[in-house]
Amino acid sequence: MSKYIGKSIKRVEDKRFLTGKGNYTDDMVLPQQTYAYIVRSPYAHAKVNGIDISEAQKASGVVAVFTGKDIPESIAGVPAGWQVNFKNGDIMKEPPHPLLIRDKARHIGDAVAVVIAESKAEAKDAAELVEVDWEELDAVTDPRAAAQEGAPLVHEDCPHNMCFDWELGNPKEEVDAAIAAAHHVTSLEFVNQRMIPNAMEPRSAIGHYETARDYYTLYTSSQNPHLIRLLMCAFVLGLPEHKVRVVAPDVGGGFGSKIFHYTEEALVIWASKQIERPVKWTAERSESFMTDAHGRDHVSEAKMGFDKAGNITALRVNTYANLGAYISTFAPAVPTYLHGTLLQGLYTTPKINVDVTATFTHTNAVDAYRGAGRPEATYLLERLLDLAALEMDRDPAELRKQNFIPAFDGVTEPGYQTQVALQYDSGDYHAVLDRGLEMVGYQDFRKEQAEAAKNGKYLGIGFSTYIEACGIAPSAVVGALGARAGLYESAQVRVQPTGKVSVYSGSHSHGQGHETTFAQVVADKLGIALEDVEIVHGDSESVAFGMGTYGSRSLAVGGSAIVKSIDKVLEKGAKIAAHKLEAQVDDLEYAEGKWTVKGTDRSIAFGDVSLTAYVPHDYPEGLEPGLDFSSFYDPANFTYPFGCHIAVVEIDPETGKVALKRFVAVDDVGNVINPMIVDGQIHGGLAQGIGQALFEGAIYDDYGQLINGSYMDYCMPRADDFPSFEIDRTTTPCPHNPLGVKGAGEAGCIGSTPAVVNAVIDALWKNGHQVKDIRMPLIPERVWNAMQS
Amino acid sequence: MAHQISLTVNGKQQQLEVEARDLLVDVLREKCRLTGTHVGCDTSSCGACVVEVDGLSVKSCTLTAVQADGGSVLTVEGLAGSDGLHPIQEGFKEEHGLQCGFCTPGMIMTAKDLLARNPNPTEHEIREALEGNFCRCTGYHNIVRSIQYAAAKMRGETPVSAS
């Protein structure tokens, strides 16, 4: 019986946030704390001919000023956590990303010096006095232009600015032949523009070195504190891991941007050792714009072939992926194993080839941003499908259905093997589309649309039926694909003597509500009250190890680790119970918080067993005291959520402004523990995906200046940009993890973007403008121009 | 140059020494140690720092502390009594109007201002009232519901929870 699982339990973490008692990194003040302000490059590409810090050093309140020359050569910089090899087998180019640059700035915001002072204001004042003799150089910002002969080089030892090239799928010749033989080919060049993540809490880090015990503590706004500790200790600063504690307290949103190990984290730890005082750095929003790892930024050419009946016969994709000036932690995985591998989509396409060239440019680093590679793949596929339907005069829903992979549960039928390396776990793709069509009232809408067009009213509908891959694993597989870390998760379930339970999870919550969802799982599995469970996360000193939260992995991987530990608790508890009840373990059953001898009323409560475990006077012979288990869970496969998103738009013909009238989303994220929280995850994802379609996008000019690096210039989606979302779900359990869950964090963001753009294109076609593409974001000017064609 | 100011913060009168350039938000966070009011941007755009000054909602990053001298400031910490939650806080909890919690104090204070002016706002009016507050987590959907819940409760009606 589930008392909690499947119920919309209100969040246990809410009260502290609602009452202003959250504890974000910048809220903390340590005794003797100093404040760091970082001097950053105003140029995208410039030589440093000299730095004069003498005036800054003399300024009021200044404790220290450091430049790149102060940092030992042995500290090369922050490393890449994923390695992709060139097609010819060579290892990718991996230029260092220094904590402070020594010779050259490679993007706007590259850090050149740090000023540490008694107050934030004094640090900032003194930073103004740091004189850098810059010599500006030519810059390149476009990933395709960067690969051309003669483009300015970001790193001298990376010819053509290439980090790597990569290919996946069926042989190119076969795919090209299939496209050449196709009855119809839909082709399009896509720009998946650069996104700025914009977690509402700016990044922050406090480094605290304690001389007396030779011990370091880093407080940081991170999605995965343990990985930061590992990378910083082993690959950046050369510190002994047992002398370093990393704490990620309350974290104000991440969306990918707080997964990565940033230079500032290592810098505050290093600087704290130098001055023997805590050093706090908190980004100003303009620094966030310049230096939080960005997302997307792909330029792709794609061709999809169809036979006469409308069956997809082949897909060929050529992508240039912008990595920015340096390789961020997981950046190489994004355009490759999280993008190329998703190009099967929900379709039976028999031939697929994807070719990726990843280049350096004079821009900020690009890495995983909500969805990471999967939105880019989905955008390609779903735009091609809707455009093909328009070109072939087919219904976009019917064209999809015709090409869908048939339903499979992954238990009685095997998973679906794609042409691009993955094996899908389970899915019923017709079900989500059918439900979406029903919710939107499809047939009626088409009639309304036709009527509207007669009156010059631009109504459009757009579809996106997506699949994504979450909880990427197992470790051996991702290791073979280049991951330099395992992708398991750990969990410790510590039953206290009184039967209260502390759970230490390596996942990290920065809005996802783990303290509630995980507690629901634990309370139900143990048959105890939710209030008797505490979820602890985000501190390397209390949690043994963890791989953090990203890629919609927390419940599928971290939750499964918790279940493993609970199983161990119950197994040992049964031995103690059997001893106390003078019965055999096999004769016991566990339900509602007690072990009962089957068929009798003899039972012992969970709390009595736990007390016995810690006060083992009358105890099974040979059994260790205590009731405390740790587990590591390494999944057998990825999980594959999927869904159907449908956008309805109206365009103002006078201005080109797009109004999103309705948004219907039917997502299948497997089993659901807390529907309220899952709905919230979907809502947030939708807003970000729709934001990319209509509002957002980083703009670098030809000099590499980020010209919309503030909220005055970058269009953040606001409350009045959206209708109420209409969402529902189907449930296809994941067959390979104990909870049957797939992951919900990114689904909304992955599916929604192409649905909106498709709806705009549909509205234009239905009003006589046969426009194939409008570059995102679909601002009024671009739409209006398209309407003039 | 230091200035002596007098502020009543959440009902408690305080004498504070501030610099002329100190923003109200920084004084609240650093001198009063009320860190529920957040700084999310440097352009007065995001609304994470909204507080009430003399009964009006204000982005506390747009006001210097000396401008608030003699004023009465209400922050999210002062909203509820010693136990329980203010109806707006309750609405956010009941309707899952927060995820990471960073924008939440500003959202709540903005909602308070809206409901003081308009006790029965339409969905459209709520969305428009939130124009100066960014949330990256919720897509605003449940924030709207939270404010609807709070509005009903504050009108003395029984809120109908959506979830």
- Flag if B93 and A512 touch (Cβ within 8 Å): no
Q: What is the 3 state secondary structure string of A78-107?
A: ECCCECCECCCCCECCCCCECCCCCCEECC
The span from the first CA to the last CA of chain A, in angstroms, equals 62
The tokens of A481 are what?
């694909």
Pairing of strands A279-282, A726-729: unpaired
Cβ-proximal residues to A538 (8 Å cutoff; 6+ apart), any chain: A225, A247, A248, A249, A251, A508, A509
Secondary structure (H, E, C), A148-191: CCCCCCCCCCCHHHEEEEEEEECCHHHHHHHHHCCCEEEEEEEE
The alpha-carbon gap from B6 to the nearest alpha carbon of chain A, in Å, equals 22
What phi-psi label fits residue A670: left (phi over 0), alpha (psi between -120 and 50 degrees) or beta? left
Residues of chain A contacting B96 with CB distance shorter than 8 Å: 10-11, 676-677, 679-680
List of residues 6+ apart from A521 with CB closer than 8 A:
A4, A5, A559, A562, A563, A673, A739
Interface residue of A7, A8, A10, A17 to substitute, partner B, most B CBs within 10 Å: A17
**How high is the pLDDT of residue A1?**
61
Among partner residues B100, B124, B139, which is closest to A252 by beta-carbon distance? B100
Task: Flag residues of chain A having pLDDT under 50.
Answer: none
Tell me the residue ranges of DSSP E strands in A583-697: 588-591, 594-597, 603-605, 628-633, 642-651, 658-668
**Per-residue pLDDT at A123:** 98
- A7-55 pLDDT, tens digit per residue, is 999 999 999 999 999 999 999 999 999 999 999 999 999 999 999 999 9
- Measure the CA–CA gap between A113 and A99, rounded to whole angstroms: 9
Within A194-254, residue ranges assigned H as helices are 225-231
Instruction: Name beta bridge partners: A35.
Output: A117, A280
What one-character-per-residue DSSP string does A476-541 give?
HHHHHTTBSS---EEEEEEE-TTS-EEEEESS--SSS-HHHHHHHHHHHHHT--GGGEEEEESBTT
Distances in Å between the Cα of A778 and the Cα atoms of A660, A763, A764 are 12, 13, 13
Quote the DSSP letter at residue A348. -
Structure tokens at A565: 């530990």
Q: Does A567 touch chain B (CB under 8 A)?
A: no
Compute how many other C-beta atoms are within 10 angstroms of the C-beta atom of residue B75: 24
In this complex, do B98 and A17 lie within 8 Å of one another by their Cβ atoms? yes
Residue type, position A630, single letter:
S
Q: What's the pLDDT tens digit per position in A581-593?
A: 999 999 999 999 9
For B81, name the nearest residue in chain A, comparing CA atoms only: A19
Chain B touched by A250 (CB under 8 Å): yes
ipTM: 0.98
> Of how many residues is chain A composed?
789
In the stretch 712-741 of chain A, residues with CB closer than 8 A to chain B read 712, 716, 718-720, 722, 724-725
Record the tokens describing residue A267, joined without a space. Answer: 């810098």
Alpha-helix residue ranges (DSSP H) falling in A7-78: 14-18, 54-58
Quote the pLDDT of residue B163.
55
Count Cα neighbours of A417 within 13 Å in the Cβ-side half-sphere: 2
* Angstrom distances, CA of residue B70 to CA of A334, B4, B57, B65: 54, 11, 16, 10
Q: What is the pLDDT of residue A476?
A: 87
Q: Contacts of residue B41 in chain A, CB cutoff 8 Å?
A: 285, 710-711
Could you say which residues from 36 to 75 on chain B have a Cβ atom under 8 Å away from some Cβ of chain A? 36-43, 45-46, 48, 75
Task: Report yes or no: A249 at the B interface, CB cutoff 8 Å.
Answer: no
- Please compute, for residue A172, the number of CA atoms within 13 A of its CA located in the half-sphere on the CB side: 7
Residue in A21, A121, A684 nearest the CB of B137? A684
Asked whether A197 and A369 are in contact (CB, 8 A), the reply is yes
Asked if A676 and B163 come within 8 Å (Cβ–Cβ), the reply is: yes
- The tens digit of pLDDT for each residue in B20-78 reads 999 999 999 999 999 999 999 999 999 999 999 999 999 999 999 999 999 999 999 99
Q: By the CB < 8 Å criterion, does B159 face chain A?
A: no
A689 to chain B nearest CA, in Å?
A: 10
The percent of residues in chain B predicted with pLDDT above 90, rounded, is: 94
Q: Is some CB atom of chain B closer than 8 A to the CB atom of A497? A: no
- Distance, in Å, from the CA atom of A348 to the CA atom of A399, rounded to the nearest integer, reads 12
Do B100 and A712 lie within an 8 Å CB cutoff?
no
Q: How far is CA A118 from the centre of its chain?
A: 36
Amino acid at B129: A
Residues of A in contact with B50 (CB under 8 A): none
Measured in angstroms, the CA of A229 and the nearest CA of chain B are apart by 23
Q: Choose among B26, B42, B102: nearest Cβ to A285.
A: B42
Residue whose C-alpha is closest to residue A743's, from A424, A472, A414, A466: A472
CB contact under 8 A, A711 and B100: no
pLDDT classification of B161: cutoffs 50, 70, 90: confident
d(CA A262, CA A659): 38
Global pTM exceeds 0.95: yes
d(CA A629, CA A754): 45
Which of B17, B41, B44 should one mutate to test binding to chain A, selecting the residue with the greatest count of A CBs within 10 A?
A: B41
